Amino acid sequence: MALTMIVVIAHNLLSFLSAPSVGILGYAANINPQKVVELTNEKRAEANEATLIYSESLSEAARLKGLDMLDQDYWAHVAPDGTEPWDFFADVGYVYRFAGENLARDFASPESAVEAWMASPSHRENMLSTKYKEIGIAVVEGDLGGRDTTLVVQLFGTPSTGTPSVPVAAAHAPPSTANEEVRVEPRPVSVVNSSQVVTNTPPTLPINQFDIAKAITIGVVFIVVAVLAVDVAFISRRGINRIGGRAFAHLSFMVMILIILVVVKSGDIL
């Protein structure tokens, strides 16, 4: 029976790893960029830090970064062709003194993405840094690695005001490269093409693949736990001696797996 279960779960695993997710489900994200800005400023307020000003220029740079990740199919701060996050600042003409980038993917809500960033020391440092004055957010949806993905790109910046640049110690921050005045014209925030959608409004898909995979796996593991529990009760009541592993050890292991499956959350940050 255990082998059968392994085959079922392995099939589940392989199908999610290999199948291009152009099926009926898609990913149900409900991430409003403005809400991410609000939550970030709430966290800064709790830490007695100044409120970040929303920047259309940074949001445009974030949108370009998200599109580039989908176009080149990568999940990283630096693109395979060597393009760095700061190149997108330059693309929109944002001349920074300090700059930083946080990335998130496949979170179901703005709250969960922000909480994940806050739980990571390097991302938290970016979010609460006193070096930054402005923030830009883009939510980009499309196919990444063969799967429907929702990317959240959060950029921080402090525009250069002609003062000498200062190296930044933050994990995702580059040294400043210019000291010119910032001058950027806002660009449209929505782009649609045949393979991907970029939007600043939350999509309204009904379900997501992570929740489906999680529910199915929990169901399968629950059945295994139930069978092991019956086995433990049966051999205990009958006083059966048999050559084999300790059923209680197996049961406690699978219960741990069940708990992990319940607490594990969707989404990844970078």
Binding positions for other proteins, rule: CB under 8 A? 2-3, 5-6, 9-10, 12-13, 16-17, 105-106, 116-117, 119-120, 123, 147, 149, 209-210, 213-214, 217, 220-221, 224, 236, 239, 243-246, 248-250, 252-257, 259-261, 263-269
Q: Tell me how far apart the alpha carbons of residues 194 and 59 are, in angstroms, rounded to a whole number.
A: 23
Beta bridge partners of 99: 157
Taking the least distance from each CB to other proteins, the nearer of 128 and 178 is: 128
Taking the least distance from each CB to other proteins, the nearer of 53 and 256 is: 256
Nearest approach in angstroms of CB 231 to other proteins is: 12
Nearest approach in angstroms of CB 260 to other proteins is: 5
Taking the least distance from each CB to other proteins, the nearer of 213 and 229 is: 213
**E strands along 117-183, which residues?**
134-144, 147-159
Nearest approach in angstroms of CB 191 to other proteins is: 24
For 160-170, b where at least 16 C-beta lie within 10 A, e where not — what string?
beeeeeeebeb
Nearest approach in angstroms of CB 221 to other proteins is: 5
Nearest approach in angstroms of CB 126 to other proteins is: 13
Give Cα separations from 171 to 129, 166, 249 (angstroms).
11, 15, 42
Alpha helices in 156-246 (DSSP H): 209-238
In terms of C-beta density within 10 A (0-12 exposed, 13-18 middle, 19 or more buried), how is residue 175 classed? exposed
Taking the least distance from each CB to other proteins, the nearer of 197 and 213 is: 213
Taking the least distance from each CB to other proteins, the nearer of 193 and 238 is: 238
Nearest to 29, CA basis, from 217, 224, 226, 211: 211
Q: Tell me how far apart the alpha carbons of residues 172 and 57 are, in angstroms, rounded to a whole number.
A: 19
Taking the least distance from each CB to other proteins, the nearer of 188 and 238 is: 238
Nearest approach in angstroms of CB 122 to other proteins is: 10
In terms of C-beta density within 10 A (0-12 exposed, 13-18 middle, 19 or more buried), how is residue 159 classed? buried
Taking the least distance from each CB to other proteins, the nearer of 45 and 259 is: 259
Nearest approach in angstroms of CB 149 to other proteins is: 8
Alpha helices in the chain (DSSP H): 2-18, 33-46, 56-72, 85-91, 110-119, 121-128, 209-238, 247-263
